[in-house]
Structure 1
Amino acid sequence: MQIYGHRGARGEAPENTLPSFHKALEAGVRRVELDLHLSSDHQLMVIHDPTLKRTTGIKGKIAAHTAAELTRLDARLGLAGWNEHCAIPTLEQLFHSCPEFEHYQLEVKSGSAAQSRRVMNAVMPLVEQFGLREKVVITSSSRTLLRYVQQNGGELSTGLVEEYGFLDPVKSALRYQCRFLVLNWKLCTPARIAQAQRQGLHVSVWTVNDPQLMLRLRDMGVDSLITDVPHLAVRVLGGTGETH
Structure 2
Amino acid sequence: MTLIYGHRGAKGEAPENTLASFQKCLEHGVRRCELDLHLSRDGELMVIHDPTLKRTTGRHGKVVQHSAEELVGYDARQGGPGWVHPCPIPRLSELFEKCDFEHWQLEVKSASRVRAARTVLAIQALAERYGLLDKVTVTSSSREVLRALNRLTPQLSRGLVAEYAWLDPLKVAKHNGCELLALNWTLCTPERLEKAQKQGLHVSVWTVNEPALMRRLADFGVDSLITDFPGLAVATLTR
TM range (shorter): over 0.9
In structure 1, distance between residues paired with 2:126 and 2:60: 29
Q: Which moved more, 1:195-204 or 1:147-156?
A: 147-156
Residue 120 (structure 1) shift: 1.6
Amino acid aligned to 1:41:
D
Structure 1 counterpart of 2:198: 198
In structure 2, distance between residues paired with 1:211 and 1:84: 30
Residue by residue, what CA displacement relative to the aligned partner does 1:14-55 show, whole Å, maximum 9, x if unpaired? 000000000000000000000000000000000000000000
Amino acid aligned to 1:95:
F
Residue 238 (structure 1) shift: 1.0
Secondary structure in structure 2 of the residue aligned to 1:178: coil
Structure 2 counterpart of 1:66: 67
Structure 2 counterpart of 1:134: 134
Secondary structure in structure 2 of the residue aligned to 1:79: coil
Q: Which moved more, 1:61-70 or 1:151-160?
A: 151-160
Aligned length: 238
What is the CA RMSD across the aligned residues, in angstroms?
0.9
Residue 147 (structure 1) shift: 1.2
In structure 2, distance between residues paired with 1:79 and 1:156: 31
In structure 1, distance between residues paired with 2:109 and 2:194: 28
In structure 1, distance between residues paired with 2:111 and 2:51: 12
Residue 144 (structure 1) shift: 1.2
1:121 counterpart = 2:88: no
In structure 2, distance between residues paired with 1:80 and 1:19: 12
Structure 2 counterpart of 1:242: none
Q: Is the 8 A contact 2:12 2:229 kept in 1?
A: yes
| Structure-1-length-normalised TM-score | 0.96
In structure 1, distance between residues paired with 2:43 and 2:147: 21
Structure 1 counterpart of 2:149: 149
Structure 1 counterpart of 2:79: 78
1:17 counterpart = 2:15: no
Structure 1 counterpart of 2:102: 102
Residue 80 (structure 1) shift: 3.4
Residue 62 (structure 1) shift: 0.2
Structure 1 counterpart of 2:236: 236
Unaligned runs of 5+ in 2: none
